[in-house]
């Protein structure tokens, strides 16, 4: 994948079907895709849940194909939650997830967040590796929607430290 093929930008309404398809495809590929449910409602309302709430949502297109995505959902004034990081299985292990993650971190700093928190399932070893090599620290483990998950956090650089 050459860099000139990649277009990384904010979600637009025309991306809705592609985002839903990528979410389901990538989730099935890693074995964390159950029946559709209310826990996925945020993906039906991206403008409101992510962008309109003071966060952001980015998509990465390779040619006409949606290759990756991810969102920032505000928790409070200082903390954003990284959500819905997905990479099309066809494009995995090519640095696309890392590019989306860096873009979201940059946007989080620009939006004034000081921390990013996230969770990923214990079976998503690739995601764990991505987050840990990007400086995320494991905080605890727990259960969400019937899956064993690991909770991570990262202090963002470029922010004034009040202490």
Between strands 65-74 and 56-62, the pairing is: antiparallel
**Is residue 161 included in any domain, yes or no?**
no
Structural domain boundaries enclosing 80: 3-155
Instruction: Return the higher-pLDDT residue of 29 and 137.
Output: 137
10 Å Cβ neighbour count for 41?
Answer: 10
**Is residue 32 included in any domain, yes or no?**
yes
Q: For residues 61-87, give the mean pLDDT.
A: 94
Q: Helix, strand or coil for residue 87?
A: strand
**Is residue 162 included in any domain, yes or no?**
no
CATH of the domain at 47: 3.40.630.30
**Is residue 75 included in any domain, yes or no?**
yes
Cα angle at 40 between 39 and 42, to 5 degrees?
105
Q: What's the pLDDT tens digit per position in 79-99?
A: 999 999 999 988 888 899 999
Beta strands (DSSP E) in 63-136 are 65-74, 79-87, 115-121
What is the value of pTM for the model shown?
Answer: 0.89
Q: Based on the structure, what is the number of domains in the chain?
A: 1
**Is residue 55 included in any domain, yes or no?**
yes
């Amino acid at each position: 994948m050459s860099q000139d093929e990649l277009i990384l930008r904010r979600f637009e309404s025309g991306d809705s079907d592609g985002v839903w398809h990528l979410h389901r495809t990538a989730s099935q590929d890693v074995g964390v895709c159950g029946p559709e449910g209310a826990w996925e409602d945020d993906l039906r309302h991206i403008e409101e849940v992510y962008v309109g709430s003071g966060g952001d949502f980015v998509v990465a297109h390779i040619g006409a194909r949606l290759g990756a995505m991810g969102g920032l959902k505000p928790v409070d004034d200082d903390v954003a939650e990284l959500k819905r990081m997905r990479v099309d299985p066809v494009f995995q292990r090519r640095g696309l997830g890392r590019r989306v993650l860096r873009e979201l971190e940059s946007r989080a700093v620009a939006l004034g967040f000081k921390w990013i928190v996230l969770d990923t399932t214990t079976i998503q070893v690739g995601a764990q590796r991505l987050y840990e090599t990007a400086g995320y620290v494991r905080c605890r483990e727990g259960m969400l929607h019937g899956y064993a998950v690991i909770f991570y956090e990262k202090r963002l650089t470029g922010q004034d430290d009040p202490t």
